Amino acid sequence: MLDVSARRTGVALTERQKISWLRLIRSDNVGPATFRDLINHFGTAEAALDALPELSRRGAGARTSRVATVAEAERELEIAHRFGATFVGVGEPNYPFALRQIDGAPPLLAVKGNLNAATRSSLGIVGSRNASVSGAKFAAMIARDAGRAGYVITSGLARGIDTAAHRASLESGTIAVLAGGIDRPYPPENVGLLNDIMAGQGLAVSEMPFGWEPRARDFPRRNRLIAGISLGVTIVEAANRSGSLITARYAADFGRLVFAVPGSPLDPRCHGTNDLLKQGAIVTTTSDDVIDELAPLSQYKLPLSAGAEEPGFETPSRQSAPLGDGDRAAIIDALGPTPAEVDDVIRHTGLPAAEVYLALLELDLAGRLSRHAGGLVSLNADQ
């Protein structure tokens, strides 16, 4: 079995800090990357919350961004408590250890079930919702064998391959990543399966608010979490342009292993997996193909990326003086609809990095900035 205790590292948030974190991530125009930048700049979530209205005003937003209230955060915490769930922060011991190292890791996750699952090395298994009998059987075999080898199986609770992987790993441990709120599972026919996961050795995970009904655009976010939690992902039957290929792309971007099960070229459900093999995915025809490749990765503790960690003592504020209008204008002029690296903006303007990052925060909170993969930024097209 893999070493579980080595993964349980981090600093627990106080209840007051958790309320502030929840308020910050639920405020308008604050996503995971913006959250991290705010904490890194201001030191604490409380200080960042105090600064939000002024930052948004400086960014010349069309309207003042809404800041989530203490009452709203306390209400969501109470809903979570009644549901039997809790929130874990990115720097806390029970946060999935591999997910911590990706850029834009969710600051808070709603979780319910066996928290030990979050501290174990994970294998993601995803694939077609309209799975064949042989595809579902193969996914279940991989899940059972990897579970016996000590891996927790992560998937998205979808029909088909996801369902087969979850069911086969109920006893060894499985993580269900939800696209909606943790109390709004999809599809409805898998509610019973989710209950079995949460009542046993598994864990349900969501970054969305309680009560959030999943929409089409929420599923790629779910796929990103599956890839981030896992050391590698196995794709079993995936058509072209399927959500499973999104998971594979995220896994590759995160430096995780991508396994693909070959299939008949006459079966549309296998076109995506066969293409992955052409692109260099690991050919997977047995469980050992996966377990042998994962073994070296599971022996080491992954490094943590520079993320938002708020210790239990006061952190000195890193606020700087407000930007001058001329400097702000120079930064805006350097941006455009084409994504650019922040370092290039710094070099182009000749301004201190802290001032550039502050201006980007202002634009972001005003709804004028778009963030892209790889840390690239651009002005919204209508700006």
- Domain end marker among 299, 316, 343: 299
Interhelix angle 133-148/287-298, nearest 10 degrees: 40
* Domain CATH number, residue 370: 1.10.10.10
Q: Taking the model in full, what pTM does it have?
A: 0.88
Tracing tokens 């009560």 back to the chain, one arrives at 211
Structurally, the chain folds into a number of domains equal to: 2
Q: Residues for the chain: how many in total? A: 383
Instruction: Tell me, yes or no, whether 353 and 274 share the same domain.
Output: no
In this prediction, residue 265 carries a pLDDT of: 95
The string of pLDDT tens digits covering residues 362-372 is: 888 888 888 88
The string of pLDDT tens digits covering residues 235-293 is: 999 999 899 999 999 999 999 999 999 999 999 999 999 999 999 999 999 999 999 99
The residue segments making up the domain with residue 364 are 325-379
Secondary structure element (H or E) that encloses residue 97, with its range: none
Q: Which of 159, 126, 122, 123 minimizes the C-alpha distance to 244?
A: 126
Instruction: Tell me, yes or no, whether 235 and 151 share the same domain.
Output: yes
CA angle 187, 189, 193 (to 5 degrees): 95
- Domain end marker among 245, 265, 299: 299
In this prediction, residue 314 carries a pLDDT of: 39
- Residue 1, pLDDT > 60, answer no
Task: Tell me the torsion sign for CA atoms 229, 340, 351, 348.
Answer: positive
The string of pLDDT tens digits covering residues 20-29 is: 999 999 999 9
Residue 85 maps to a domain? no
Residue 351 maps to a domain? yes
Q: What percent of the chain is modeled with pLDDT above 70? A: 90
In this prediction, residue 377 carries a pLDDT of: 86
* Domain CATH number, residue 266: 3.40.50.450
The mean pLDDT value of the chain amounts to 89
- Domain end marker among 284, 299, 314: 299
